[in-house]
Amino acid sequence: MANPAPVEVEVTLHGVVLDPGGAWHREAPRPPASRQERYDERFDTDTLFYDVFRVDEHVELIGPPLLNLAGGLRPMSLQHAGRRYARSFRSTAMNRVHRHRITGIPQDVDSLRLRCPLGRFRLDIGENLSGAFTERRVLVTQSQNNSLEWIARWVDHHVATQGIDAVVFYDNASTLYSSDDVRGVLRDRPGLAMFSVIDWPYPWGPTGGPDSVWDSDFGQLGAWEHAWRRLCRTAATITFGDIDELIIGPEPTVTERAAASPQGICSYRRMSIVNVPAEPTDGLSRMRDYADYRLYDPEAPLLTPKYTVAPGTLLETDQLLVHCVDGRRVPDETDVLVRHFNSMRIEWRDGEQHPVPDLRAEHVEAQSLCVDEELVASLARIPGP
């Protein structure tokens, strides 16, 4: 008997963007001397809110940090049908994210009119989806142009090995396929119960630059905030990861560990799988696959961790960062390691559309490389390419 197709949770973003020709724009926080090439091109100058949506009796607005735009939100007029709500508007500055909340909005109100020095805006209010993934073990990612074959294998692996049964996928303006193509892949994943594909048009933002100053990369933190606060408040667990990463370790799964943890968090370090294929990939008639790579350097340092969190344990003051829950570091698991594949990625932040080139063994310290037998065994649990 065939598995039932997963249920899709449809999400429409109600973002607000400043007038590109207007007087107000977000000013970059980084000194010019610390900016890399194309910094200004990649910096998000005009997004005010990523999304506006209802949660019970209030409305939430998530956006990049206001920075200099904070002075343009007041004085504010916020109305619907003559009723004023400006006094109910509250803002909270987080790490590269701004949260806003409007309380006391009746259920039959589906839009508001905002007028302030920044401009005049219609705020369409998205539906309440805070319980959409109740008790699901959700895998969340943000991706641009990663191979559809990779996406399928990535999901299959985490369904088979980590108890994942739902996916929230932020497609960050892919050009090699449509978000409907991603939906088609997820509909065919065995063991998946639910999914959502969100068209996320906002800039990822500049990386750390020559001085490793991480102050301008707003997009991913905004997506993580959105996943939690709009969709996954009542999920059993949320696991954050990238398509070039596979979580590998013995039972219990990371979802089980997070759910059982008093802190509600399971943190695990990452190790690099070098981009030297077991067999040459030149001339392959198929897309390269995780199973093509299995070598690692045992002397290489481990990478910064990723994590799984049980959202029922989170406080309103918490924030989900890329590598941890802000201010709530927990010991990393000693028997779980994410495999970070140097070859299973596209440098899309640099405008690339092709996988990172492979290396030949003679270009690395081949004598120090070892076969990752745990990786080989884990990949054997899902069908090959």
Per-residue pLDDT at 368: 84
CA–CA separation, 177 and 172 (whole Å):
11
Over the chain, what is the mean pLDDT? 93
Residue 1 has pLDDT above 60, yes or no: no
**Stretch 169-183: mean pLDDT:** 96
pLDDT cut 70: percent of the chain above it: 93
Task: Tell me the pLDDT tens digit for each residue of 342-366.
Answer: 899 876 666 665 677 777 665 666 5
Residue 52 has pLDDT above 90, yes or no: yes
- Cα 327 to Cα 110, 127, 234, 315: the distances in Å are 36, 31, 22, 11
Per-residue pLDDT at 214: 96
Return the H-helix or E-strand segment holding 289. Answer: none
pLDDT band with cut points at 50, 70 and 90 for residue 279: confident
CA–CA separation, 167 and 369 (whole Å):
34
Q: Among 26-30, 296-300, 365-369, which range has the highest average pLDDT? A: 26-30
> Could you give all domains of the chain from N- to C-terminal order, each with its CATH number?
7-124 (2.60.40), 137-379 (3.90.550)
pLDDT cut 90: percent of the chain above it: 85
CA–CA separation, 19 and 21 (whole Å):
5
> Of 171-175, 194-198, 284-288, 324-328, where does mean pLDDT reach its minimum?
284-288
DSSP 359-381: --GGGS-GGG-EE-HHHHHHHTT
- Cα 295 to Cα 292, 298, 355: the distances in Å are 10, 9, 18
Per-residue pLDDT at 359: 72
- Cα 154 to Cα 44, 113, 341: the distances in Å are 30, 42, 12
Asked if 356 and 281 count as a contact pair (C-beta separation under 8 A), the reply is no
Amino acid occupying residue 244: D
15: Cβ contacts below 8 Å, ≥ 6 apart: 47, 49, 50, 51, 52, 201, 202
